[in-house]
Amino acid sequence: MITIDNSGCRAFADEKQIAEWTGKAIEGFNTLEGGKAPGSDFLGWNHLPSSITPEILDGYKDVASRWKNKNINLVVVIGIGGSYLGAKAAISALSHNFAVNLDSSAPQVVFAGMTLSEDYLAELMDLMERRNVAAVVISKSGTTTEPAIAFRIIKQYIETKYGAEEAASRIVAVTDKARGALKTLATAEGYTTFVIEDNIGGRYSVLTPVGLLPILLAGFDIDAMVRGAQDMEKACGTASAENPAIQYAALRNMLYAQGKKNEILVNYNPKLVYVSEWWKQLYGESEGKDGKGIFPASVTNTTDLHSMGQYIQEGERTLFETVISVARCDRNLSVPADKENLDGLNFLTGKRIEECNDSAMKATVMAHIDGGVPQIGISIEKLDAYNLGGLFYFFEKACGISGYVLGVNPFNQPGVEAYKKNMFALLGKPGYEELAEQLKNR
Ligand code: PA5
């Protein structure tokens, strides 16, 4: 399902070093599975795939079929961070490049609440004006400001357009089972509500209703996605050097210890841009603390070879790259012959575009190794719901292991609070008067 290639690290580490770090990652795996280390009250994601039953998925399918009966053609999903990026990543990866669903009757799924841009929300209203609208509002805490603002606006819009009673059947909430303003509001309004379990943090929640419900509503196969995650749970379930999550966690920590402090996740398919965004949150929020942590960045090639390529080849030597490659592309498009050959490209005649892309990838990997940038390869079989489910779980598992190898709690995010307090003070939230005064003086 997933293969890790460490050959691009061989110029930077010998067998003995790789084996030593594999041993540390096995210890990290045991720490994770032992469930006693800091953060172990947030391990609900770890054996989640195998606990997902058809009945759980039926609950989401029921919403999809109710909304289909209403001919809903626009679903606005409201959330931020872990309550946004997983669904966005999956929908972007599985959609046609030029239409969310070129030949499907599934509604268009768009996102809100992950930005405070006034333009964005106002233009979303323009779209809503022309569509038959429903909304999914997602917030584990139920108190996050960005989605709360967006939801207030979208809720009022839907109520005005369809009436309060009908609005209640067009809004679904995904939130905590008991706490938070969103839970209170959802109960008062009678919304269908799905629960995010206490022991699953936002960035580990893509395989809960947080991710699966929007992915299903966009018309994609969540049964296959869950199967892929379940198979990956098994593949990543042993304390051994064959476990791909252990292999990845070992290599990245080994490189970090050598001063390679920045990891660039590289893809060769623009559909994967948001998988990289999801991965950046997962690793950045899990590891960046206590003055430590690999800085997660990303590029999409070959596009970014023409912008970031120079730096990666010759800039500060603190980088390593993790390259995601997809073994099988189902489309088939080749370079045509041209009698005149004025562009000099006839040497490519008959070659598939994918072969050109693959050669670009191999050429880049070798050039970057020569330039002092170690390479980790991650290959998946195909870009589909099954393999994506596996990839999500694989990255989560490797992240939990990796955080423990690094010596941090991979499941908290104390640093995220700092900006929130300042923002509340600047916006005049009651209780923040003293901080507001201090900030004004600054
Ligand atoms: O990973 C996390 O915990 C965060 O990114 C949260 O998902 C994000 O802050 C949104 O929080 P909430 O779902 O409580 O609105």
Q: How far apart are CA 120 and CA 59, in angstroms?
A: 31
- 309, containing H or E segment: helix 309-314
Q: How far apart are CA 331 and CA 315, in angstroms?
A: 36
Distance 60 CA to ligand 1 centre (A): 21
Q: Which of 41, 83, 139, 213 to mutate to test the pocket of ligand 1 (most atoms within 8 A of CB)?
A: 83
Please report how the helices 244-257 and 385-406 are oriented relative to each other, as an axis angle in degrees rounded to 10.
Answer: 40
In the sheet that holds 2-5, the strands lie side by side as: 2-5, 375-382, 319-328, 262-267, 295-300
Distance 80 CA to ligand 1 centre (A): 6
- 263, containing H or E segment: strand 262-267
DSSP helix, strand, coil percent of the chain (3-state; round to 5): 55, 15, 30
Amino acid of residue 247 = Q
Distance 42 CA to ligand 1 centre (A): 14
Cα-Cα-Cα-Cα torsion 223, 226, 232, 236, nearest 10 degrees, comes to: -160
Catalytic one among 306, 417, 434, 440? Answer: 306
Q: Of all atoms in ligand 1, which is nearest to the CA of residue 175?
A: 13
Say whether 47 is catalytic.
no
Distance 374 CA to ligand 1 centre (A): 32
Exposure on the CB side of residue 19, measured as CA atoms within 13 A? 3
Q: Which of 115, 141, 151 to mutate to test the pocket of ligand 1 (most atoms within 8 A of CB)?
A: 141
Amino acid of residue 203 = R
Name residue, tokens 């870009």. Answer: 383
pLDDT in the model for residue 99:
74
Which letter, b or e, does each residue of 283-292 get, where b requires 16 or more Cβ atoms within 10 Å of its Cβ? Answer: bbbbbbbeee
With a Cβ cut-off of 6 Å, ligand 1 is lined by 80-83, 139-141, 144, 147, 201-203, 285, 413
On whether the CB atoms of residues 167 and 128 are closer than 8 A, the answer is no
* Nearest Cα residue to atom 12 of ligand 1: 139
Q: How far apart are CA 313 and CA 236, in angstroms?
A: 33
Average pLDDT, the chain: 96
Catalytic one among 61, 161, 280, 420? Answer: 420
The one-character DSSP state at 199 is T
Phi, psi of 360 (to 5 degrees): -60, -40
Catalytic one among 285, 287, 321, 396? Answer: 285
Q: Of all atoms in ligand 1, which is nearest to the CA of residue 80?
A: 10
Contacts of 359 (CB under 8 A, 6+ apart): none
On whether the CB atoms of residues 412 and 351 are closer than 8 A, the answer is no
- 312, containing H or E segment: helix 309-314
- This prediction has a pTM of 0.96
* Nearest Cα residue to atom 3 of ligand 1: 202
DSSP 207-220: TSHHHHHHHHHTT-
Say whether 27 is catalytic.
no
DSSP 8-58: GGTTT--HHHHHHHHHHHHHHHHHHHHT-STTGGG-TTTT-GGG--HHHHH
The one-character DSSP state at 1 is -
Q: Is 342 exposed, middle or buried (0-12, 13-18, 19+ CB in 10 A)?
A: exposed
Q: How far apart are CA 99 and CA 186, in angstroms?
A: 32
Number of H helices, E strands in the chain: 16, 10
- Residue 364, preceding peptide bond in cis (omega within 30° of 0): no
Structure tokens at 237: 């379930």
pLDDT in the model for residue 271:
96
CB atoms < 10 A from the CB of 25, how many?
Answer: 27
Compute and round to an integer the Cα radius of gyration of the chain: 23
Please report how the helices 145-162 and 181-189 are oriented relative to each other, as an axis angle in degrees rounded to 10.
Answer: 10
Q: Low-confidence residues of the chain, pLDDT below 70?
A: 100-103
* Nearest Cα residue to atom 2 of ligand 1: 202
Distance 217 CA to ligand 1 centre (A): 21
Phi, psi of 110 (to 5 degrees): -125, 165
Say whether 285 is catalytic.
yes
pLDDT in the model for residue 305:
97
Distance 144 CA to ligand 1 centre (A): 8
